[in-house]
Amino acid sequence: MQEIRTQLSEDLTAATTSQDVEAVRVRYLGRKGEITLLRKNADFSAMSAEEKKRFGQQFNELKRFAEQQVAAAQARQTGTAPAPPSIDMTLPGLNNHLGHLHPISLVQLELEEIFQSLGFMILDGYHVETDFYNFESLNIPRDHPARDMQDTYWLKNGLLLRTHTSANQVRALEHYGAPVRAVFPGRCFRNEAIDPSHENTFYQLEGLMVDREISVANLIAVMRTVLTAVFHREVTVRLRPGYFPFVEPGFELDIQCLICAGEGCSTCKKSGWIELLPCGLVHPRVLEFGQVDPDRYSGFAFGLGLTRLAMMKYNIPDIRLLNSGDLRFCEQFPAAV
Ligand code: DAH
């Protein structure tokens, strides 16, 4: 009986016209149908009273089931099926899935929390900037070769898409004066040919601290504190000289490779160190552009590549995944709460 029940359901599912349904009805419930014959052929004389009773019950149940299913299938074919239940739009949805935070947002939020705990403000800037804030005020005049390092998207009106979050430095100095402690996370743009490690749209987190007697020691202390919190373990840092027109001295800050602890492996290309971020002491000319007296104040600045950090932290092999909008990528990161 169970087999007949299953077979009937399958046959009805496969039926696409009302003639098909009728054929199914005849096959099971007709005078010589399988269900009808089940009773005709039953050998009641070989059954006990108890067995007869059970057979009767099961047979009746099967027959009722078959009749109902056939009637419903017939109704579906002839369009007389009952209307689906009406929808109550005020009920909460069944799927209250909120989506996932993008890995760059995750890294950004984590850094913001760390910097806030150190007394830094989180500030926003403009994606469309002036030549003055993006270059001139950072000690990169119009004919300076350092402009060649940042292939800029210029707009027809003379403005540009900011090439780095450093564009916020002088804006913040003008607005808040000294002392000031701030970080500026955000999107930057450069005319790059796109490949697994280059994008025309990427994220940085700029930092600026200006106060009395700020030195390289303060820079190293803050960087070590922040990086230890980001990587959840003690990190060893080193500074190498690096050139950027808006800092003097300027550095490349490296961290000791976290994979091999400085032994040398494929991740650190056998050097034991990983280049992490450029930084330095704010150039006196930048302070002057921001109306801050360089004889009274000094400061440090750094430019952390958020995109690069997210790729390192989550082992993301191709930068193009980040702006792909592909949910299969985003859904691998913790859900929004
Ligand atoms: N703005 C630079 C860039 O995008 C990075 C940078 C270097 C930022 C040194 C800084 C710094 O604040 O001190 O290439």
The answer to whether position 84 is within a domain reads no
Of the chain, the percentage scoring pLDDT greater than 90 comes to: 72
Q: Are residues 62 and 110 in the same domain?
A: no
- Residues 34-52: what's their mean pLDDT? 90
pTM score, whole prediction: 0.71
Calpha distance 327→103 (Å, rounded): 12
Q: What is the Å distance from ligand 1's center to 293 Cα? A: 22
Q: What is the Å distance from ligand 1's center to 247 Cα? A: 9
Q: Which residues, including other chains, have CB under 8 Å from residue 328's CB and lie 6 or more apart? A: none
Q: Are residues 263 and 202 in the same domain?
A: yes
In this prediction, residue 8 carries a pLDDT of 92
Q: Are residues 178 and 306 in the same domain?
A: yes
Q: Are residues 118 and 39 in the same domain?
A: no
Helix, coil or strand: residue 287: helix
Contact 301 CB / ligand 1 (< 6 Å): yes
Contact 302 CB / ligand 1 (< 6 Å): yes
Is the pLDDT score of 292 beyond 70? yes
Q: Which atom of ligand 1 is nearest to the CA of 150?
A: 14
The answer to whether position 87 is within a domain reads no
Contact 283 CB / ligand 1 (< 6 Å): no
Q: Are residues 152 and 9 in the same domain?
A: no
- Residues 277-293: what's their mean pLDDT? 98
Burial grade of 89 (CB within 10 A; 0-12, 13-18, 19 or more): exposed
Q: Number of H helices and number of E strands within the chain?
A: 11, 9
In this prediction, residue 95 carries a pLDDT of 67
Question: Across the chain, what does the average pLDDT equal?
Answer: 92
Q: Which atom of ligand 1 is nearest to the CA of 280?
A: 13
The total of structural domains in the chain comes to: 2
CA-nearest residue for atom 7, ligand 1, is 278
In this prediction, residue 261 carries a pLDDT of 87
Q: Are residues 6 and 123 in the same domain?
A: no
Q: Are residues 235 and 326 in the same domain?
A: yes
Q: Are residues 53 and 146 in the same domain?
A: no
CA dihedral of 180, 185, 191, 193, whole degrees rounded to 10: 140
- Residues 193-216: what's their mean pLDDT? 96
Is the pLDDT score of 301 beyond 70? yes
Is the pLDDT score of 121 beyond 70? yes
Q: Is the dihedral of CA 197, 202, 205, 206 positive or negative?
A: positive
In this prediction, residue 337 carries a pLDDT of 59
The answer to whether position 97 is within a domain reads no
Q: What is the Å distance from ligand 1's center to 319 Cα? A: 20
- Output 212 or 316, whichever has higher pLDDT: 212
The answer to whether position 168 is within a domain reads yes
CA-nearest residue for atom 14, ligand 1, is 164
Contact 206 CB / ligand 1 (< 6 Å): yes
Q: What is the Å distance from ligand 1's center to 18 Cα? A: 74
Q: Which atom of ligand 1 is nearest to the CA of 166?
A: 1
163, 189, 244: which to mutate for ligand 1, most atoms within 8 A of CB?
244
133, 152, 173, 246: which to mutate for ligand 1, most atoms within 8 A of CB?
246
Give residue 229's pLDDT band: very low, low, confident or very high (50, 70, 90).
very high
Is the pLDDT score of 165 beyond 90? yes
In this prediction, residue 87 carries a pLDDT of 82
Task: Lowest mean pLDDT of 24-33, 71-80, 269-278, 281-290, name the range.
Answer: 71-80
Quote the longest CA-to-CA distance of the chain. 116
The answer to whether position 91 is within a domain reads no
In this prediction, residue 85 carries a pLDDT of 74
Q: Which atom of ligand 1 is nearest to the CA of 169?
A: 12
The answer to whether position 336 is within a domain reads no
Is the pLDDT score of 83 beyond 70? no
Is the pLDDT score of 306 beyond 70? yes
Is the pLDDT score of 175 beyond 70? yes
Task: Lowest mean pLDDT of 65-69, 86-90, 197-201, 321-325, name the range.
Answer: 86-90
The residue segments making up the domain with residue 184 are: 103-330
Of the chain, the percentage scoring pLDDT greater than 70 comes to: 97
Is the pLDDT score of 264 beyond 80? yes
- Output 244 or 259, whichever has higher pLDDT: 244
The answer to whether position 98 is within a domain reads no
Give residue 157's pLDDT band: very low, low, confident or very high (50, 70, 90).
very high
Q: Are residues 64 and 143 in the same domain?
A: no
Is the pLDDT score of 309 beyond 80? yes
For the stretch 102-120, pLDDT in tens is 999 999 999 999 999 999 9
